Amino acid sequence: MIQSFSNSVNQSFSMYMKKIVSILIIFLFSATSGFCQKYEAESATLSGGAAKQASSAASGGYFVAQNGGNLSLSVNLPESASYNIYIQVASPNGPKYNLFSIDGTSIGFNTANNPTYIRLKVISFLKIEAGIHQIEIVNSWGWINIDFIEFEKVDPPAASNINQTLITPNPTDETKRLNQFLLDNYGKKIISGVSEVSEATWLKTNTGKSPALIGLDFLFCGRGYTWYNENDPFNQGKAWYDKNGIVNFHWHWRDPSRVTEEFYTTKTTFDISKIFDETSAEYKAMIKDIDYTSGLLKRFQDNKIPVIWRPLHEAAGGWFWWGAKGAAPCKKLWQIMYDRMVNVNGLHNLIWVWTREPNDDDWYPGDQYVDIVGRDIYKTGDHSSQVLEYNDMVNRYSGKKIVTISESGSFPDVDNLIKDTAGWSWFMVWNGDFVRSSTYNSLDLWEKMFASDYVITLDEMPNLKTYETPPTTGMTIPKKCTFSVFPTCFEDQINIQSDKIIEHVSAYNQLGIRVKSWNLNSGTSVISLTGIPSGMYFLKVDENEAVKIFKL
């Protein structure tokens, strides 16, 4: 009997130690990013002039001089996980731009002028399955030296870091409601959109549904064109908002000096750098246009219509005059526009969107001037999720900003968005052939998107005039309860105890996507996470902060 008792104790102790080891493993892999796997560049297949060269400064004694060529290699990852991908790279021939590709999906990366090697992150927290994957470094400019490629296992950022408040002080009630709608759906669904009402009408005729967001332009406003009705942008925007749609405005800002009617850098010599000289004619012309456009936007505010506002788009591309003189004057113009529109002209109905271009970190106006960051993506026939771009932007802005596809040619297939957890807020397809031609987007794909529960169409939009927002100052905010959750490492069930009645509990994955929820109405409860894969989650009890839990 003593022997039996001893065996029982040993078995219990053994099971206990296995649990402890499992918990330690989870903590090791979730709390650290020390797990790395390195692949030497010289083991790649080289083409187009790329060459292996010996060097005592390189890992393994060799590096690859890309020259004008390409590298391709297969990597075998032992574990399905989220990874950061780095390259050990030198750029002795000045700043360069090239492409990094994994399994056929690519993203551009820039290298500064650095003769010695640096560890450059090219991909952030990409979810990759275990097994063999094809990696390529493809020449766009070329002429960098590559030592090795490294995969680092990491936890993706939680969505709870997103800024909840708008940059504009005292935003209008309807603007807060629209912002709350964007926050509530971010990472859970994507909002469909097109540029121009005529394209939405065409889609309604051909698919039976309309997109939720419409993109409008002040392209012809303020120029005195006798053939143009200045009321059109307002009339179209108001009609769309009255259907519960979202109104988005961009501005192809024509030459403020009126010397030309152009906005492309190659067709006007207007000098944005004069924004630093308040006495210049160019400065005064820009202020005059900003004030005029403020009047157009004020009409929306007076009619209680919020506007997603996307000025100075694609600046770092350099093809518009506002990007012709580099980062500093464009950044200054954005900040002056914000100050003029908000603090001088009293606009409080705008949600400000910065349109990112590659290598534009120096152009970014600053977190205090930007609500949302967009990316204009034109890749003909490419219906991938653009997850590399998405992850890069979430990482680049520290997870603080909603990110979106502010313009597109071909849009992502909904299946790819869901599979890759690429949580873009909305997509807006440009007008004309981009909407109507199968070269870019087939009618079958439009119908598939509009039929998906993941894609929000106009008929699925709530009434934004009455959309619920969190309590504001002056309202009674319920006191948060004190609660405990145990165990935090578990196989199936969790106990929750509270000093007051718990109404609602939700579990979120590491991307901030809700995977399960419970309505409890109890002070002490046991919940089950059966059916949820092993890993780390965040448990949120009513309106309290999330608790980190680990399912074995």
CATH of domain 36-154: 2.60.120.260
3.40.50.360, 3.40.470.10, 3.40.50.1820, 3.20.20.80: which CATH number matches 159-460?
Answer: 3.20.20.80
Q: What percent of the chain has pLDDT over 70?
A: 86
Whether residue 538 has pLDDT greater than 90 = no
Whether residue 531 has pLDDT greater than 70 = yes
pLDDT value of position 507: 77
Helix (H, G, I), strand (E, B) or coil at 236: helix
pLDDT value of position 2: 42
Whether residue 172 has pLDDT greater than 60 = yes
Give the Cα separation of 166 and 175 in Å (integer).
9
| Cβ–Cβ under 8 Å, residues 153 and 38 | no
Task: Note the pLDDT tens digit of each residue in 240-283.
Answer: 999 999 999 999 999 999 999 999 999 999 999 999 999 999 99
Helix (H, G, I), strand (E, B) or coil at 218: coil
When pLDDT is cut at 50, 70 and 90, the band that residue 9 belongs to is very low
When pLDDT is cut at 50, 70 and 90, the band that residue 546 belongs to is low
The helix (run of H) or strand (run of E) holding residue 537 is strand 535-541
Task: Note the pLDDT tens digit of each residue in 78-124.
Answer: 988 889 999 999 999 999 999 999 999 999 999 999 999 999 999 99
Average pLDDT of 196-208? 98
The helix (run of H) or strand (run of E) holding residue 284 is helix 281-302
Average pLDDT of 35-58? 93
Give the Cα separation of 401 and 161 in Å (integer).
8
Q: Which of 40, 42, 314, 389 is catalytic?
A: 314
When pLDDT is cut at 50, 70 and 90, the band that residue 173 belongs to is very high
| b (16+ CB within 10 A) / e for 32-65 | eeeeeeebbbbbbebeeebeeeeeeebbeebbbb
Average pLDDT of 286-313? 98
Task: Note the pLDDT tens digit of each residue in 372-430.
Answer: 999 999 999 999 999 999 999 999 998 899 999 999 999 999 999 999 999 999 999 99
Average pLDDT of 13-25? 44
Give the Cα separation of 59 and 149 in Å (integer).
11
282 among known catalytic residues: no
Instruction: Using alpha carbons, select from 123, 98, 101, 121 the residue that is nearest to residue 109.
Output: 98
The residue with greater pLDDT, 524 or 313, is: 313
At position 123, the amino acid (one-letter code) is I
2.60.40.1930, 3.40.50.300, 3.40.50.40, 3.40.50.1820: which CATH number matches 483-551?
Answer: 2.60.40.1930
Give the Cα separation of 154 and 115 in Å (integer).
29
The residue with greater pLDDT, 66 or 514, is: 66
Whether residue 72 has pLDDT greater than 70 = yes
Instruction: Using alpha carbons, select from 152, 144, 145 the residue that is nearest to residue 123.
Output: 152
CA end-to-end distance (rounded Å), the chain: 34
Give the Cα separation of 400 and 162 in Å (integer).
4
- Write out 53-100 in H/E/C secondary structure: EECCCCHHHEEEECCCCEEEEEEEECCCEEEEEEEEEEECCCCEEEEE
DSSP assignment letter at 451: H
Average pLDDT of 201-222? 98
Q: Which two tokens stand for residue 160?
A: 């709870």
Domain ranges for the chain, please list them.
Answer: 1-28, 36-154, 159-460, 483-551
Task: Note the pLDDT tens digit of each residue in 461-493.
Answer: 999 999 987 654 433 333 444 567 767 666 777
Give burial (CB, 10 Å; 0-12/13-18/19+) of 497.
middle
Give burial (CB, 10 Å; 0-12/13-18/19+) of 143.
middle
Average pLDDT of 499-513? 68
Average pLDDT of 440-451? 98
The 8 Å CB, 24+ separation contacts for 354-358 are: 355/310, 355/312, 355/313, 355/314, 355/315, 355/406, 355/407, 356/316, 356/393, 356/396, 357/314, 357/315, 357/316, 357/317, 358/97, 358/108, 358/110, 358/316
Residues 6 or more apart in contact with residue 532 via CB below 8 angstroms: 507, 515, 516, 551
Whether residue 30 has pLDDT greater than 50 = no
Give the Cα separation of 31 and 10 in Å (integer).
31
Determine the distance from the C-alpha atom of residue 437 to the mean position of all C-alpha atoms in its chain, rounded to a whole number: 27
| Cβ–Cβ under 8 Å, residues 82 and 156 | yes
pLDDT value of position 235: 98
Sign of CA dihedral 396, 398, 400, 402: positive
| Cβ–Cβ under 8 Å, residues 536 and 490 | no
Would you state the torsion angle of the CA atoms of residues 58, 40, 112, 326, taken in this order, to the nearest 10 degrees? 170
Q: Which of 407, 447, 468, 545 is catalytic?
A: 407
Whether residue 287 has pLDDT greater than 90 = yes
- Predicted TM-score of the model (pTM): 0.76
Average pLDDT of 73-81? 92
545 among known catalytic residues: no
pLDDT value of position 490: 67
The 8 Å CB, 24+ separation contacts for 444-452 are: 445/383, 445/411, 445/413, 446/203, 446/206, 446/207, 447/207, 448/413, 448/414, 449/192, 449/411, 449/413, 449/414, 450/192, 450/203, 450/207, 450/208, 450/209, 452/414
Mean pLDDT across the chain, nearest whole number?
A: 88
| Cβ–Cβ under 8 Å, residues 122 and 86 | yes
